[in-house]
Chain A
Amino acid sequence: MNKKNPVAKWPLLFTGFGLVMVCFSLSRFGSMVVTAQNSLTTSESRGKQIYTQGTSPSGKDVFAYLGDPSLELPGSAMPCANCHGLDGHGKPEGGVSPTNLAWEVLTKPYGVTHPNGRSHPPYTERALELAITCGTDPGGNKLLNVMPRYALSVQDLADLVAYLKVVGKDLDPGISERNIVLGTAGPTKGRLADISQASRAVTAAFFDELNSQGGIYDRRFEVKFLETAETPAATRAAMDRWLKDGEIFALSGVVMAGFEKDLLPLIANREVPLIGPLTLYPETGTPLNRQVFYLLSGVEGQARAFVEFAASKAELKNQSIAVVFTQGESSSKLLQAISEENKRAGFGKPRAFDYLAGQFDAASTARQLKTANSNLVFFLSGGKDVLSFLAEAVKIDWYPSIFIVGASSEIFGAPLAFSEKIFLSFPTSPADQSPEGVREFSALAEKYKLPKEHLAAQLSAFSSAKILTEAIRRVGKDLSREKLIQALEGLYEYQTGLTPAITYGPNRHIGAMGAYIIKVDLKEKQFVPAAGWISVN
Chain B
Amino acid sequence: MVGSTLREKSMKGLSIVLAWGLMCAWAPVGSLPSTLAQSRQKAARKDLRYSCPMHPDVISSKRGKCPRCGMTLRTVSRAPISGPTPIPAIRDTEDSLSFSSSQIPDSKVLDQNGKSLNFYSDLIKGKTVAINFIFTTCTTICPPLTATFRRVQQELGRTGQNVQLISVSVDSSVDTPERLRDFAAKFNAGPGWTFVTGEKAEIDRLLRALGVAVANKNDHTPMILIGNDVSGFWTRSYGLSSPATLIKTMTDVASHK
Contacts and interface: CB of A to CB of B under 8 A. Distances in A.
B148 interface: yes
Nearest to B187: A77
A506 B137 contact: yes
B33 interface: no
Interface string A103-130: 0000000000011111000000000000
**Which range contains the number of B residues in contact with the other chain?**
35 or more
Interface in B151-182: 151, 174, 176, 178-179, 182
A93 interface: yes
A116 B182 contact: no
Contacts of B53: 117
A283 to B, nearest CB: 14
A1 B218 contact: no
Interface string A77-96: 11001110000000111111
B82 A145 contact: yes
Given A93-B218, A507-B174, A146 B144 contact: yes
Interface in B46-78: 53-57, 68-71
A105 to B, nearest CB: 17
Interface string A136-150: 000001101110100
A486 to B, nearest CB: 11
B87 interface: yes
Contacts of A92: 140, 218
Interface stretch (B10-18, B102-110, B198-206, B237-245): B237-245
A95 B244 CA distance: 22
A82 B87 contact: no
Contact of B140 (A9, A98, A115): A98
Interface residues of A, number: 40
Nearest to B239: A94
B186 interface: yes
Contacts of B69: 1, 4-5, 8
B35 interface: no
Contacts of A141: 55, 57
B78 to A, nearest CB: 16
Contacts of B220: 93-94
Nearest to A2: B69
Contacts of A479: none
B84 interface: yes
29 contacts: A1-B71, A8-B68, A67-B144, A67-B148, A67-B242, A67-B243, A69-B243, A69-B244, A71-B151, A73-B147, A81-B139, A82-B139, A82-B143, A91-B140, A92-B140, A92-B218, A93-B218, A93-B219, A93-B220, A94-B141, A95-B221, A95-B222, A96-B141, A116-B56, A118-B54, A141-B55, A142-B57, A286-B178, A507-B176
Interface of B: 53-57, 68-71, 82-85, 87, 137-141, 143-144, 147-148, 150-151, 174, 176, 178-179, 182, 186-187, 218-222, 240, 242-244
